[in-house]
A and B are shown apart, each in its own frame.
Chain A
Amino acid sequence: METLANLGDGFAIAITWQNLLLALLGCFLGTIMGALPGLGPSNGVAILIPLAFTLGLGATPSLILLTSVYYGAMYGGRISSILLGIPGDEPAMMTVLDGHPMAKKGMAGEALSLSGVASFVGAFFATWGLILLAPQLVKIALLFGPAEYFALFALAFMTLGGVSSTNQAKSAFAAALGLGLATIGVDTQTGVPRFTFGEVHLYDGLDFLVAIVGLFALSEVFIFLETRHGGAEADGKKMVIGKLYPPMSMLKACTPTMLRTSFLGFIAGVLPGAGASLGSFISYSMEKRLVDKKGTFGTGDPRGVAAPEAGNNAAAGGALVPMLALGVPGSGTTAVLLAVLLALNITPGPLLFTQNPDVVWGLIAALFIANFMLLAMNIPMVGLFTRVLMIPSRILMPIVAMVSFVGIYGISGSTFDLLVMIGFGVMGWLLRKFDVPLVPIILGTLLGNAMENNLRRAVTIDNGNWWTLVDSPLALTLWAIAIIGFVLPLIVGARVKAGMHARRDDEGAISD
């Protein structure tokens, strides 16, 4: 009952002209970003954060804008998967398998509208899941002391490589690099400068927004320059959409699939180190095993389109649970969303629900609204978004680069930050070549200070006794999960990854 009252308050906050407009704008931009190969949810949100920040939007409006982009990108990714056979972003990879064959059979319109409905179902149930699960998780999180928080952060880093990671050494390298970057600047506890080498600009530490935009957005521009991929994805391919409504029989046949995969995707999203890509992968594989009696999956089976789309949208909602309730994101895009909260000086985690209930419930209400907007945008108006695929990247990428610069310059007005951003862009390009995941770096720069503070607080409270870190059952449980999460991919990682990356994809480093 209390939940419903809270939700009601949330709707009161979300339904203002400004917030509705922001949600609409976010859904629109998000769908475009998801549809365009090369721009996905994480770099789409990354480019927009500094802008939301410099425009002076408050916490709730910023979050509404950016999570709408996030949900929108999850919808948009399917468009190029189905029409062109090229995933618009990583979570839409599995949609290619059945969506593109359907389009080839002349059923592109049915595939698009069916997947739109599936996305809606997945996101709708995941938002309910978020409402029901997050407060429960908050209750557990309120029991956490500094030692447990330190273990929780360690868990986040150790599982972030994900089940799909093949090289845990590279994930660990990325996490350590991010944490190392976070230690630059004046030490918050004793006030001594660390790793600043006398450079005054570094005393404040590196701005994580600069790192995010450089690593995610600018490195993408370098990738395009490297491959000199200047044309539009749709060049030379004809896109016939056909009728835009799925027959009732098809919807009926897919309903059990959508419900099952929404549930599964949501769980995958909540679990650390999974995220939307894994959500769609698991959903597709499970459905294939469960209902594919005649071997039609992979040849344009509608259920093979509905499964991954419901799964990845549900996972996107699920991934918000640990980010909001614990302050520890489990996926790339939620890490970027965490940066929004931190940039606005809001500490996510259990206290968020008690101290800023307006932010949480306003956001959740906005997610419901955004979801209906997206359904409306993605079925009747999908033709509009398919046009976007005709924009050549030789025009798009300069715009992406320049908007990144505008955002960062708007925050600080300093040339130094722009140079640091270019540095991160080059680093991001190089690390992507080496197949080093970028998300742990971002998470390291975001959480580094909080992690160190909790470590030092825990040990100081216990008079310098380091064993205090593994002293409570709760902490021990967290450490155990962390270790399992780190070791498991060493055993099953190669297999899962081979399944997910049947096609080689540049975006592998920016998972989610």
Chain B
Amino acid sequence: MSDRIFGVVGILISIGYVFAALAIEESFLSDAVGPKAFPLIIAAILGISSLVIALRPDAEPAWPSLARLVEIAAAVVVLILYAEMLPVAGFVIATAFAAAYLAWRLGSSLLEAVLTGIGTSVGIYVIFHLVLGLSLARGPFGF
């Protein structure tokens, strides 16, 4: 069943891609092929392969339980927050929180998670910024 849904979604994507390709404004100065042809070929391959996937599905993949899915969704949210907060809070603080969260969710105890977070963040800061001179996001305190 999963593969059938996957195939249908793939077909929808390829149709959307075709419409987006047809909407490309052609320049008055164009080569013999133009900017639309290649995307249309790709869309055809995408559509055909999706159709085959939908018609001849593989065995059902092992989907995780709802709780695990929520776990992944939560991690995605945390990482998005991390990306957004990076320029605001600075590298060291933001990274310590994000790494601690991931360590905690992977089964560390709270203390261990906090230590992992701080260790990762300070370790990366020292190695990549202080030693190697890579520019990291600067927060209000200058780190």
Do A225 and B103 touch (CB < 8 A)? no
Given A399-B99, A401-B99, A434-B61: A406 touches B136 (CB 8 Å cut-off): yes
Do A169 and B128 touch (CB < 8 A)? no
Closest to B31 in A: A460
**Is residue B45 contacting chain A, with contact meaning CB distance below 8 A?**
yes
Given A55-B132, A402-B95: A394 touches B35 (CB 8 Å cut-off): no
Do A192 and B25 touch (CB < 8 A)? yes
How many of chain B's residues have a CB under 8 angstroms from any CB in A? 72
Closest to B59 in A: A435
Partner of A194, one of B30, B35, B71, B134: B35
Cβ < 8 Å to A, chain B residues 53-93: 53, 56, 58, 61-64, 68, 71-72, 75-76, 79-80, 82-84, 86-87, 91
A227 to B106, CA, bound (A): 9
Partner of A434, one of B3, B21, B121, B135: B3
Given A221-B102, A422-B79: A180 touches B46 (CB 8 Å cut-off): yes
Do A226 and B64 touch (CB < 8 A)? yes
**Is residue A464 contacting chain B, with contact meaning CB distance below 8 A?**
yes
Q: Which of A187, A221, A422 has the most CB of B within 10 A?
A: A187
Given A176-B45, A225-B72, A456-B33: A433 touches B106 (CB 8 Å cut-off): no
What string of 1s and 0s marks CB contacts (under 8 Å) between A387-406 and chain B? 00000011101110111011
A225 to B52, CA, bound (A): 31
Do B106 and A460 touch (CB < 8 A)? no
Which of A74-82, A126-134, A344-352, A413-421 forms part of the interface with chain B? A413-421
Partner of A401, one of B3, B79, B80, B108: B79
Q: Which of B26, B75, B80 has the most CB of A within 10 A?
A: B75
Do A401 and B102 touch (CB < 8 A)? yes
Partner of A228, one of B21, B106, B136: B106
Do B72 and A222 touch (CB < 8 A)? yes
How many of chain A's residues have a CB under 8 angstroms from any CB in B? 66
Q: Tell me whether chain A's interface is mostly helix, strand or loop, or mixed.
A: helix
A433 to B124, CA, bound (A): 31
**Is residue B39 contacting chain A, with contact meaning CB distance below 8 A?**
yes
Cβ < 8 Å to B, chain A residues 345-377: none
Cβ < 8 Å to A, chain B residues 1-42: 2-3, 6, 10, 17, 20-21, 24-27, 29-35, 37-39, 42
Query: How distant is B100 from chain A, measured CB to nearest CB, in Å?
Result: 8
Do A172 and B49 touch (CB < 8 A)? yes
Query: How distant is A29 from chain B, measured CB to nearest CB, in Å?
Result: 12
Given A395-B116, A422-B80: A192 touches B26 (CB 8 Å cut-off): yes
A172 to B62, CA, bound (A): 23
Contacts of A227 in B (CB 8 A): 64, 68
Do B136 and A169 touch (CB < 8 A)? no
Given A225-B106, A422-B79, A434-B2: A169 touches B49 (CB 8 Å cut-off): yes
Contacts of B79 in A (CB 8 A): 218, 401, 422, 425
A88 to B94, CA, bound (A): 31
Do B34 and A455 touch (CB < 8 A)? no
A426 to B38, CA, bound (A): 27
Do A55 and B134 touch (CB < 8 A)? yes
Contacts of A230 in B (CB 8 A): 106-108
What are 17 residue pairs bridging A and B, where the CB atoms are less than 8 Å apart in the complex? A170-B49, A173-B10, A189-B30, A195-B21, A225-B68, A395-B108, A395-B112, A398-B100, A398-B116, A401-B99, A402-B98, A405-B82, A405-B95, A409-B137, A410-B128, A410-B135, A455-B38
Binding site for B on A (CB under 8 A): 51, 54-55, 166-167, 169-170, 172-173, 175-177, 179-180, 183, 187, 189-192, 194-195, 197, 218, 221-222, 224-231, 393-395, 397-399, 401-403, 405-406, 409-410, 413, 415, 418-419, 422, 425-426, 429, 433-435, 451-452, 455-456, 459-460, 463-464
Binding site for A on B (CB under 8 A): 2-3, 6, 10, 17, 20-21, 24-27, 29-35, 37-39, 42-43, 45-46, 48-50, 52-53, 56, 58, 61-64, 68, 71-72, 75-76, 79-80, 82-84, 86-87, 91, 95, 98-100, 102-103, 105-108, 112, 116-117, 120-121, 124, 128, 132-137
